[in-house]
Amino acid sequence: MSGTPETSLPSTLHQALAALLGPSGLLTDTTDTAAFCTDWRALYQGRCAAVLRPASTEECAKAVALCHAHGVPMVPQGGNTSMVGGATPDDSGRAVVISTTRMNRVHAIDHADLTMTVDAGVTLKAAQDAAAAEGLFLPLSISSEGSADIGGILATNAGGNNTVRYGNARELALGLEAVLPDGNVLNLMRRLRKDNTGYALRQLLIGAEGTLGIITQAVIQLQPAPRARETALCAVASAAGALDLFAAFRKQDPAAVVAFEFMSGTSMGLVNRFIDGAALPLSEPAPAYALVELSSPRAGDGLRSLMEDVLGEALESGLVSDAVLAESETQRNALWMLREEHAEAQKRAGASVKNDVSVPLAAIPTLITEATAACEALIPGIRVAPFGHIGDGNIHFNLVQPEQMDAAAFSARDHDIMDTVAEIVRHLGGSFSAEHGVGQLKTYMMPSWRGGAELESMRRIKNALDPDGLMNPGKIFPAA
Ligand code: FAD
Ligand code: 2HG
Ligand code: ZN
């Protein structure tokens, strides 16, 4: 069945965009636009007047200027992997989605500066591969990296598995280019490590979730490729045990730890049940697991003995009950697969409610104990399936519907569940969004968490750059 080519775009705008972008750069048929109007979790179903796919900054700037002149709302979209509905238009059908997928060139890799200059639409995986081909390393790793692109990861200030050593996306961006809501191009591509010349506009665009403009290019900092790497999966009794193990590694060599991830037994059980080929390489299932990775740019850097020393002591003291070390790249990938498939496994397990939260490290055990008890009291039989980047204090405190419960009935309780967890997080001095952002899922939380001068300052900045509110409306800010 073919979709409808009808569009609510004013005809003068339609004609101008068609002339500018050509047939592959302007999609109006609903068969072609449908995938751009829903999110990875299928929580939101929007509509759009068209999908614009500019192939360059110049095309993007002209398209934005045209939409701005016609008062048409714009929704920037990269790989469309947002966990908070950030890239999904509302259901009015008025907005256009501006997709960066055709802006996908790696322009340069500089070995002296250790930088890469890329278009926003280069996927994170393609950027990692381009760096690796030159013997370098792009130190950002997320399970969605095959689809998520450079523009998307910067717009959300993505975190992921290597934040514990290298920081979030924000720390990796040395330069940025963006198209502002009126079509002006903001060129901040100076790739300088020192440049104190007024406001840090680059950092303002990063993490703005597409509400201040469309990121079109970036300069990303790289690292020398690791020459030594050790990866281990460890069975532990609890999150507290995982934290003790993290402390033991950090005490020996804080710089060596490149990833330290936590998985509850319940969440790992879902991976084993729903993901083909996911086999636990330990003698028996455990209450919880830690995945630790050490790396160094120096070959033969003593990482194996560091890993064996710390794990040996932890096994002896009972902190770790079982552990497996990767002996090859294939085994390393198999261990990482057991971590990276939690989101997909939870999606297949039924309806789920996500709480991407952060607290100070020492508060993690209390968060897990208190939030587990509160959620179990709220919905008997709820499956409490936390996992996440424990080394950063970031837990995905996710809840999966009880086996026998109706999925819609469970989803209808989403705010009850989110608010229950959020109040515990608040009490522990944490944040209601650690790495996924606010999108449209969490706008309702903004007044109580970021109200007063903080939200008001954000509104003023938004109004200054986008007085007509055309850039990604309905995201971050609660409805007035
Ligand atoms: P999109 O989903 O397309 O957009 C995300 C937001 O950025 C939207 O608000 C959109 O409007 C805006 N945007 C997109 N491109 C631009 C642009 N060029 N200019 C301005 N604004 C733009 N996130 C983490 O932080 N860590 C993880 O470990 C992680 N793992 C994930 C695993 C899975 C399986 C999935 C589905 C998601 C995961 N995410 C994770 C969330 C998501 O992948 C990240 O937020 C990612 O950075 C989004 O990139 P994207 O290109 O898909 O952006
Ligand atoms: C991850 O760490 C992602 O795997 C996804 O951030 C988290 O599914 C989630 O809640
Ligand atoms: Zn995550």
Mean pLDDT of 401-430: 97
Question: Half-sphere exposure of 205 toward its Cβ, with a 13 Å CA cutoff?
Answer: 29
Q: Ligand 2, from 164, 356, 392: best to mutate by most atoms within 8 Å of Cβ?
A: 356
How far is ligand 3, taken at its centre, from the CA of residue 372, in Å? Answer: 19
How far is ligand 3, taken at its centre, from the CA of residue 311, in Å? Answer: 25
How far is ligand 3, taken at its centre, from the CA of residue 159, in Å? Answer: 7
Q: Is the dihedral of CA 240, 245, 251, 253 positive or negative?
A: negative
How far is ligand 3, taken at its centre, from the CA of residue 462, in Å? Answer: 27
Task: Tell whether the model's pLDDT for residue 442 goes beyond 80.
Answer: yes
| CA-435 nearest atom, ligand 2 | 6
Q: Ligand 2, from 83, 268, 394, 442: best to mutate by most atoms within 8 Å of Cβ?
A: 83
User: Closest by alpha carbon to 89, among 476, 480, 479, 472?
Assistant: 472
107-158 tens-digit pLDDT: 999 999 999 999 999 999 999 999 999 999 999 999 999 999 999 999 999 9
| Pocket-forming residues, ligand 1, beta carbon under 6 Å | 40, 75-83, 86-87, 100, 120, 142-144, 147-149, 151-153, 155-156, 158-160, 209-210, 214-215, 343, 435-436, 439, 472, 475
Instruction: Give me the percent of the chain exceeding a pLDDT of 90.
Output: 97
Mean pLDDT of 350-379: 98
Task: Tell whether the model's pLDDT for residue 7 goes beyond 80.
Answer: no
How far is ligand 2, taken at its centre, from the CA of residue 343, in Å? Answer: 5
305-354 tens-digit pLDDT: 999 999 999 999 999 999 999 999 999 999 999 999 999 999 999 999 99
Sequence-distant (≥ 6) Cβ neighbours of residue 434 within 8 angstroms: 159, 356, 357, 358, 392, 393, 394
What's the mean pLDDT when you consider all of the chain?
97
Instruction: Give me the percent of the chain exceeding a pLDDT of 70.
Output: 99
How far is ligand 2, taken at its centre, from the CA of residue 22, in Å? Answer: 37
Place of tokens 């502002």: 180
* Residue 435: count of CB within 10 angstroms of its CB: 23
CB 64, CB 186: distance < 8 Å: no
Rounded Cα–Cα distance for residues 325 and 176 (Å)? 39
Q: Ligand 1, from 144, 201, 271, 352: best to mutate by most atoms within 8 Å of Cβ?
A: 144
Residue 225 has a pLDDT of 96
Task: Tell whether the model's pLDDT for residue 5 goes beyond 80.
Answer: no
Task: Tell whether the model's pLDDT for residue 2 goes beyond 60.
Answer: no
Q: Residue 162, SS3?
A: coil
How far is ligand 2, taken at its centre, from the CA of residue 436, in Å? Answer: 8
How far is ligand 1, taken at its centre, from the CA of residue 314, in Å? Answer: 37
Instruction: Please name the residue whose Cα sits nearest to atom 34 of ligand 1.
Output: 144
Task: Tell whether the model's pLDDT for residue 439 goes beyond 70.
Answer: yes
| CA-347 nearest atom, ligand 2 | 8
Residue 300 has a pLDDT of 81
How far is ligand 2, taken at its centre, from the CA of residue 180, in Å? Answer: 30
How far is ligand 3, taken at its centre, from the CA of residue 83, in Å? Answer: 10
Q: Ligand 1, from 40, 83, 104, 163: best to mutate by most atoms within 8 Å of Cβ?
A: 83
Mean pLDDT of 352-379: 98
Place of tokens 């330069």: 175
214-242 tens-digit pLDDT: 999 999 999 999 999 999 999 999 999 99
How far is ligand 3, taken at its centre, from the CA of residue 19, in Å? Answer: 41
- Residue 3's pLDDT band (cuts 50, 70, 90): low
Sequence-distant (≥ 6) Cβ neighbours of residue 337 within 8 angstroms: 275, 277, 278
Specify whether the backbone of 440 is left (phi greater than 0), alpha (psi in -120 to 50) or beta. Answer: alpha
Burial class (CB in 10 A: 0-12, 13-18, 19+), 242: buried
58-109 tens-digit pLDDT: 999 999 999 999 999 999 999 999 999 999 999 999 999 999 999 999 999 9
Sequence-distant (≥ 6) Cβ neighbours of residue 457 within 8 angstroms: none
166-190 tens-digit pLDDT: 999 999 999 999 999 999 999 999 9
Tokens of 145: 């990296």
| Pocket-forming residues, ligand 2, beta carbon under 6 Å | 143, 342-343, 346, 354, 356, 388, 396, 398
Instruction: Please name the residue whose Cα sits nearest to atom 18 of ligand 1.
Output: 151
Residue 440 has a pLDDT of 98
- Residue 1's pLDDT band (cuts 50, 70, 90): very low
CB 295, CB 259: distance < 8 Å: no
φ, ψ of residue 113 to 5 degrees: the values are -85, -15
190-205 tens-digit pLDDT: 999 999 999 999 999 9
Question: Quick one: DSSP state of residue 149?
Answer: B
Q: Ligand 1, from 59, 77, 124: best to mutate by most atoms within 8 Å of Cβ?
A: 77
ipTM passes above 0.95: yes
Rounded Cα–Cα distance for residues 474 and 480 (Å)? 10
User: Closest by alpha carbon to 229, among 333, 112, 353?
Assistant: 333
Residue 4 has a pLDDT of 53
Sequence-distant (≥ 6) Cβ neighbours of residue 56 within 8 angstroms: 103
CB 178, CB 439: distance < 8 Å: no
